[in-house]
Chains A and B, each alone.
Chain A
Amino acid sequence: MTTIERPAYKVIGSRPVRPDGVEKVTGKAQYAADPRPQGVVFGKILRSPHAHARIVSIDTSEAERHPGVLGIVTAADFPQAEDKVQDLGEGAVNLRELSDNILASEKVLYRGHAIAAVAAASPHEAEAAAQKIRVEYEVLTPVTNVLDAMREDAPLLNETRHTKMMGGQHSERPSNIAAYNQFKAGDADAGLAESDLVVEREFTTSMVHQGYIEPQSSTASWNADGTITIWTSTQGAFVVRAQVAEVLRIPVARIKVIPMEIGGGFGGKIPIYLDPVAALLSKKSGRPVKLSMNRTEVFEGTGPTSGTVISVKAGAKDGKLHAVQATLRYEAGAYPGSPVGAGAMTMLAPYDLEHVEIHTFDVVVNKPKTSAYRAPGSPAAAFAMESVVDELARTLKIDPLQFRLNSASKEGTKQVTGVPFARIGNEEVLNTAMTHPHYTAPIEGPYRGRGVASGYWFNGGMQSSVVVAVNPDGTVNLVEGSTDIGGTRASLAMQLAETLSIPYDAIRPIVADTDSIGHNDVTGGSRTTVASGMAVYQAGQDVIREMSSRAARLWSVTPEDVSYEDGVFHCLKDSTKELTFKELAAQGARTGGPIAGRASLVARGAGGAFGTHIVDVEVDPGTGKTTILRYTAVQDVGTAIHPSYVEGQIQGGVVQGIGWALNEEFVYDENGRMLNSSFLDYRMPTALDVPLIDAVIVEVPNPGHPYGVRGVGEVPIVPPLAAIANAVADATGHRFTQLPLSPRRLIEELDGGD
């Protein structure tokens, strides 16, 4: 662990057991599919078998007569949603499109698009009844590839959509290109012309899925008083509440969302799919309704991340990156909103260069509407950029990490948006990687190679709200509204323990429902430990202020005469007077009632962070299989609150990146049918496919956070794609520009190259 300028902490940096741990290792923790309110019945969704079709008619009469059916819902049951855009934290949505994505009204835009839903006494009956709904389609030609969709003669997903250009103008012709944007600095043409070496390449990545192990599930009860209770799997209960309210046109005050433990999300559990449908089925059936997806529905009907085609032309001068021209084309899926902008804003973050020109296209295709996936937009862009940087360095015979150091961005470097970086740890990360024993060890043997790559993510801020209640025995309830996907109860409790100078064990973190705490944005964008951490810090300060005034009352002095240090309140006027936190906590009733603190904020000052990865691979030229021999991920996290969970985030992100690089892809036939919608055929890494992952933590504290936290979860998925492709290039002498580097692709290209 490389640590820079860090104060001495007592709790931060230790590795306690997480508060929700025992429930999760004993099977007691309640996830979304687990609650069974009394009288619960089961729903099933009918989905489109076509990738692109007009819905001519829907006939539910036969299904209604199926024994045991309690209610059927179609888009006709939704009120007309407003054509307006709402920000969900990790991406914005148009509410009418959101509504249409939940249940299609006029057209189906991808195979698996939901059309209707049935509630029945058992899941089997619901499924049988759903099959009896008759839908008449006018089948249209689908377009499932970004380049095909951009052609002028492409079939249009929406005949009224025109390309939104910079400055708010729209294209004259209707188009599948939903938006075009550009970023410019210096003069890229001139910069390339004066470069010593220019490399130009085009890269392709496939649509990939977050692959969370828990399928979406929602249970809703439309209560007799007109309120709705929803138990669901989400990264943000308040965002579910807001979306359901908009889609159903009912006030948020009537909706209570209870966030269950969440079995993985990675960005994919921000949009809603099931919740309003379960609510309407409950209204019709008069019973609570549980609606769960199966794995095929998750693949075909929820938002993965974009497939992309990215062209990069980059020039090096004097051993540094000098000029870059790039065009990024991202599939948005059925409705606009790919993360292409984030791709453009992150791909050059590791570099300080003068001449930049980036063009971005957000393109709709007949595939599921994409949603966020860990550092949305960044991995594919980094795959392209970091591959080209590798080629520049190798051709110039400069060590690829040295080349990056020569060109490294630092505090004050202007980003492509023109905004200069605050304090960042890019150089520290590169230096740590260069001197790491992995990098200095030789790599030998035929078909073995080493690759490196860097990656960046902004990290999140946004809204958080917490309440801290001090119990008479000196323990503390920490009530928060950020769902805990990977140990944030622990990371928030630790920050509160640090702030209050009390033991970690004295804190009980509670993830509250939407009736019980103020608004909290989603757990996403690596924001929770950062932003809710800031709120926790401020609420802790609020508690100390309150308790100081209680002590002042007991000692008949002013609050200014009370100091708090190491868990003890001291009277500055009389050094014999002191009270521990616990002793004073017991005095609540005598000094003015229960003691509590709170904080609500919009977090600013989120600190961007960099990672640099080193990977050794071995390629089997006979089978095309790539084996990961060794993997080291170096990352600046600002401050590691709980190092084990920081390492875990890094290791998990790396392994998702390994899957993306080597095996994962959505495979479609010409009719737009996904051919591999199971975990057998969509091949995610298993324990057997990966080695131990060495996570090296660098700590360059974020000046914008009381404990220097930057956020961890997003960055580690950014570098692996390019690092592995660079290693394979080193091993085989062949530069691969298309992901995944599956055995088939390797064999084809290597044999073709002979």
Chain B
Amino acid sequence: MTRTHVETRLNGVERDFLCEPRQSLLEVLRDELGLTGTKEGCNNGNCGACSVILDGRIVNSCCVLAVEIEGQDLQTIEGVAHGDQLHPLQSAFLDEAALQCGICTPGFIMASKALLDREPDADEARIRHWLAGNLCRCTGYDKIVRAVRRAETAMEEMNA
């Protein structure tokens, strides 16, 4: 099958790749680019494990064709920390024990980041509503919600 050339900005760096038109962004990230931090839970838009941020919007990468991201800005879990400097959300997930098996965690961190990037003081109800597209089967969500709130406080302090 002919492969298409795609240029994008991936975690802040210009990047191009070749892919088949039928390949999803999730598949290309994992199989072609070796970025396996983005997870597959359902491959049809129902679990959020594959969440990435595309031009500032949270999307399920399993429901985006890789050819569609031409010219767009893509953030994945691999780009969230800077070197050994964790993002406040990542630290908060650790401190609150907001992961058990951890398979949903990259998706939750990306979804939470997309929320806090635009609504840094979202309340519990808003957080729950926003995260309803991400399934976690281990934690019962309690500690995830607390972690997001903790990250809000930490980010506020950093910006103060």
Interface string of B97-129 (1 = CB under 8 A from A): 101111111100100000000000000000111
Interface string of A28-51 (1 = CB under 8 A from B): 111101101000000000000000
Q: Is B81 in contact with A26, judged by CB distance below 8 angstroms?
A: yes
Contacts of B37 in A (CB 8 A): 26-28
Q: Among A24, A33, A685, A690, which residue has its beta carbon within 8 angstroms of that of B102?
A: A24
Q: Is A25 in contact with B99, judged by CB distance below 8 angstroms?
A: yes
Q: Is A487 in contact with B97, judged by CB distance below 8 angstroms?
A: yes
Q: Is B100 in contact with A485, judged by CB distance below 8 angstroms?
A: yes
Known: A680-B46, A687-B145. A25 touches B131 (CB 8 A): no
Interface string of B24-58 (1 = CB under 8 A from A): 00010011001111111111101101000000000
Residues of A within 8 A of B (CB): 15, 17-18, 20-22, 24-31, 33-34, 36, 123-124, 210-215, 261-266, 294-295, 485-487, 642, 644-645, 647-649, 651-656, 678-680, 684-688, 690, 692-693
Closest to A682 in B: B46
A693 to B144, CA, bound (A): 12
A214-B41, A651-B139 known; 10 new pairs, CB 8 Å cut-off, are: A25-B106, A27-B37, A213-B104, A648-B139, A655-B141, A656-B140, A679-B46, A679-B47, A687-B127, A687-B134
Q: Is B78 in contact with A21, judged by CB distance below 8 angstroms?
A: no
Interface centre among B35, B94, B142 (most CB of A within 10 A): B142
Residue B59 lies at the interface, judged by CB distance under 8 Å to chain A: no
Closest to A233 in B: B103
Min CB distance B115 to A, Å, is: 12
Q: List 12 A-B contacts (CB under 8 A).
A: A18-B94, A24-B99, A24-B105, A26-B80, A213-B47, A261-B103, A263-B39, A295-B46, A642-B97, A655-B140, A656-B140, A687-B128
A294 to B44, CA, bound (A): 10
Closest to B22 in A: A124
Q: Among B43, B132, B133, B140, which residue has its beta carbon within 8 angstroms of that of A295?
A: B43
A656 to B138, CA, bound (A): 8
Closest to A633 in B: B140
Interface string of B125-160 (1 = CB under 8 A from A): 001110111111111111111100000000000000
Q: Is A264 in contact with B132, judged by CB distance below 8 angstroms?
A: no
Q: Is A25 in contact with B86, judged by CB distance below 8 angstroms?
A: yes
Q: Among B103, B128, B141, B143, which residue has its beta carbon within 8 angstroms of that of A644?
A: B143
Q: Is B100 in contact with A486, judged by CB distance below 8 angstroms?
A: yes
Residue B76 lies at the interface, judged by CB distance under 8 Å to chain A: yes
Residue B66 lies at the interface, judged by CB distance under 8 Å to chain A: no
A648 to B143, CA, bound (A): 7
Residue B96 lies at the interface, judged by CB distance under 8 Å to chain A: yes
Min CB distance B132 to A, Å, is: 4
Contacts of A678 in B (CB 8 A): 42, 44, 46
Known: A686-B135, A687-B127. A645 touches B142 (CB 8 A): no
Q: Is B36 in contact with A486, judged by CB distance below 8 angstroms?
A: no
Interface centre among B35, B37, B128 (most CB of A within 10 A): B37
Known: A22-B86, A644-B96. A214 touches B101 (CB 8 A): yes
A21 to B20, CA, bound (A): 35
Q: Among A27, A655, A687, which residue has its beta carbon within 8 angstroms of that of B106?
A: A27
Min CB distance A34 to B, Å, is: 4
A21 to B109, CA, bound (A): 13
Residue B61 lies at the interface, judged by CB distance under 8 Å to chain A: no
Residues of B within 8 A of A (CB): 20, 22, 27, 30-31, 34-44, 46-47, 49, 76-78, 80-81, 86, 90, 93-97, 99-106, 109, 127-129, 131-146
Contacts of A655 in B (CB 8 A): 139-141
Sorted from nearest, which 10 A-B pairs have the closest CB atoms? A27-B37, A263-B103, A651-B140, A655-B140, A27-B77, A486-B100, A24-B102, A644-B97, A679-B46, A34-B36
Closest to A651 in B: B140
Q: Is A25 in contact with B105, judged by CB distance below 8 angstroms?
A: yes
Known: A25-B109, A680-B44. A213 touches B145 (CB 8 A): no
Contacts of A20 in B (CB 8 A): 102
A214 to B102, CA, bound (A): 10
Contacts of A263 in B (CB 8 A): 39, 41, 101-104
Q: Is B90 in contact with A26, judged by CB distance below 8 angstroms?
A: yes
Q: Is B138 in contact with A687, judged by CB distance below 8 angstroms?
A: no
Q: Is B103 in contact with A213, judged by CB distance below 8 angstroms?
A: yes
Known: A25-B105, A27-B38, A680-B44. A487 touches B100 (CB 8 A): yes
A30 to B102, CA, bound (A): 11
Min CB distance B35 to A, Å, is: 8
Contacts of B145 in A (CB 8 A): 687, 692
How many residue pairs at the A-B interface have CB separations less than 8 Å? 185
Contacts of B137 in A (CB 8 A): 210-213, 264, 266, 652, 656, 684
Known: A211-B137, A213-B103. A26 touches B77 (CB 8 A): yes
Q: Is B94 in contact with A25, judged by CB distance below 8 angstroms?
A: yes
Q: Is B138 in contact with A264, judged by CB distance below 8 angstroms?
A: yes
A642 to B36, CA, bound (A): 30
Q: Is B76 in contact with A215, judged by CB distance below 8 angstroms?
A: no
A25 to B136, CA, bound (A): 14
Q: Is B135 in contact with A688, judged by CB distance below 8 angstroms?
A: no
Q: Is B141 in contact with A212, judged by CB distance below 8 angstroms?
A: no
Q: Is B80 in contact with A36, judged by CB distance below 8 angstroms?
A: no
Q: Is A29 in contact with B102, judged by CB distance below 8 angstroms?
A: yes
Interface centre among A21, A653, A692 (most CB of B within 10 A): A21
Closest to B36 in A: A34
Q: Is B144 in contact with A26, judged by CB distance below 8 angstroms?
A: no
Known: A295-B41, A678-B42. A648 touches B100 (CB 8 A): yes
Q: Is A687 in contact with B143, judged by CB distance below 8 angstroms?
A: no
Q: Is B139 in contact with A261, judged by CB distance below 8 angstroms?
A: no
Contacts of A28 in B (CB 8 A): 37
A655 to B138, CA, bound (A): 9
Min CB distance A345 to B, Å, is: 26
Min CB distance B125 to A, Å, is: 9
Q: Is B97 in contact with A15, judged by CB distance below 8 angstroms?
A: yes
Q: Is B86 in contact with A679, judged by CB distance below 8 angstroms?
A: no
Q: Among B40, B90, B103, which residue has its beta carbon within 8 angstroms of that of A264?
A: B103
A36 to B39, CA, bound (A): 15
A680 to B48, CA, bound (A): 12
Q: Among B31, B35, B97, which residue has its beta carbon within 8 angstroms of that of A18?
A: B97
Closest to A490 in B: B97
Closest to B40 in A: A33
Contacts of B99 in A (CB 8 A): 21, 24-25
Contacts of B127 in A (CB 8 A): 687
Min CB distance A33 to B, Å, is: 7
Q: Is A686 in contact with B132, judged by CB distance below 8 angstroms?
A: yes
A18 to B96, CA, bound (A): 11
Q: Is B40 in contact with A215, judged by CB distance below 8 angstroms?
A: yes
Contacts of A645 in B (CB 8 A): 97, 100
Q: Among B39, B43, B138, B139, which residue has its beta carbon within 8 angstroms of that of A294?
A: B43
Closest to B23 in A: A124
Min CB distance A41 to B, Å, is: 12
Min CB distance B87 to A, Å, is: 9
Contacts of B97 in A (CB 8 A): 15, 18, 487, 642, 644-645, 647-648
Q: Is A213 in contact with B135, judged by CB distance below 8 angstroms?
A: yes
Closest to B101 in A: A264
A158 to B66, CA, bound (A): 48
Known: A17-B94, A27-B77, A27-B106. A651 touches B143 (CB 8 A): yes
Min CB distance A488 to B, Å, is: 10
A190 to B64, CA, bound (A): 67
Min CB distance A716 to B, Å, is: 9
Contacts of B109 in A (CB 8 A): 25
Q: Is A692 in contact with B142, judged by CB distance below 8 angstroms?
A: yes
